[in-house]
Structure 1
């Protein structure tokens, strides 16, 4: 168990993290953040962990940079869990006319945000690989996504963070060739996809058995 009593954990990311949090009285949404919250509070009630969801639909790494101070630093967390990268790739597929965030820039900005949080707060990081873009292994989105997954892997090692292998978990699921979908549209999670994300996160931080 890496967490201590009263630890604050900020989850930040895009719509996959957001999952309707603004309409939720607890501001957690209905996705994997809610599942992680409920598991940790049910199994470790003595810790009284504070889970804060700061997901915003449509965000790329450049959007996280703009709101990093307010949504991360001002919350003074002991841990920051980050899930970003899907829109950085998806915009290259569905909105080619906007300024794109290619892998080198993605990693540069991501590193700068981690450095700032580490230096100002001394917090620790839980870095989630971006999941998938379309539910087939060789989609153009998944091919483009590989470089962003590699960047997250490098940053997790560089900052001694916990790596959550969500991309690999989704790829492994797809290889099983079940008749079950993980998403509603190739990107946004249904309940099964949220469950896979939450389980992968909980396993990575060491609070759920393999």
Structure 2
């Protein structure tokens, strides 16, 4: 009998073993920074977790800072991402690397973009972190390729697609998905107001659209 009680206690404790939720960090710029605000795509995903009774299975964390480019992500990766011990990191960067060429006279040259992006991937993989890449969605929503930065955005998106293939990573092709959505829902060829408020940052529809695309890639 003296062995039965400890055995029962051990079995009871085993049945209540805590399973750590999968921590997903969304790593990016102001679009991601806004994602944790009310109505933001990360907030919407957190609400979806509650609706689907998955709050014990996943934890979503935003790590976005406005104005960031790919090298900013590389420089703050240790403190803002690795220190959180994530299981998954979703990288959503590229808009400022392109946009700032025209707006600030800065930006990131394509070869440097590749090198910094690859360095981020390698450092995350060295920690056995699952990495998911995103192409930059839009700097203007016109569908006839007349937005000023369409050429560069297409180029940088191709580079990200190539990195996803090179490292065998999942890809959320926001560039492709945004264009397809606008082709269907933007018959007047507007430069904003379909998925964005200002050609770049997401409106309510855009946040829901991105949340759904992110969800498909992250929740498995």
Q: TM-score range by the shorter chain?
A: 0.7 to 0.9
Q: Deviations over 1:28-86 (max 9, x none)?
A: 32311112222234224264312111111111111111101001111111100111000
Q: 2:167 aligns with which of 159, 163, 166?
A: 159
Q: Structure 1: any 5+ residue segments left out of the alignment?
A: 22-27
Q: 1:93 aligns with which of 102, 110, 121?
A: 102
SS at match of 1:185: coil
Kept in 2: contact 1:162–1:205 (CA 8 A): no
Report which of the two structures shows the higher radius of gyration computed on alpha carbons.
2
1:124 matched residue in structure 2: 130
Distance apart, 1:153 and its partner CA: 0.9
1:110 matched residue in structure 2: 117
SS at match of 1:45: coil
Q: 2:204 aligns with which of 172, 185, 191?
A: 191
SS at match of 1:156: helix
1:203 matched residue in structure 2: 216
Distance 1:154 1:68 in 2: 22
Structure 1's 6 and 200: CA in aligned 2 closer, same or farther, altered over 3 A?
same
Distance 1:102 1:182 in 2: 27
TM-score, length-scaled by structure 2? 0.81
Q: Deviations over 1:160-189 (max 9, x none)?
A: 221111111100011113566211111111
Q: Which shifted more, 103-112 or 44-53?
A: 44-53
Structure 1's 103 and 49: CA in aligned 2 closer, same or farther, altered over 3 A?
same
Tell me whether 1:52 sits opposite 2:52 in the alignment: no
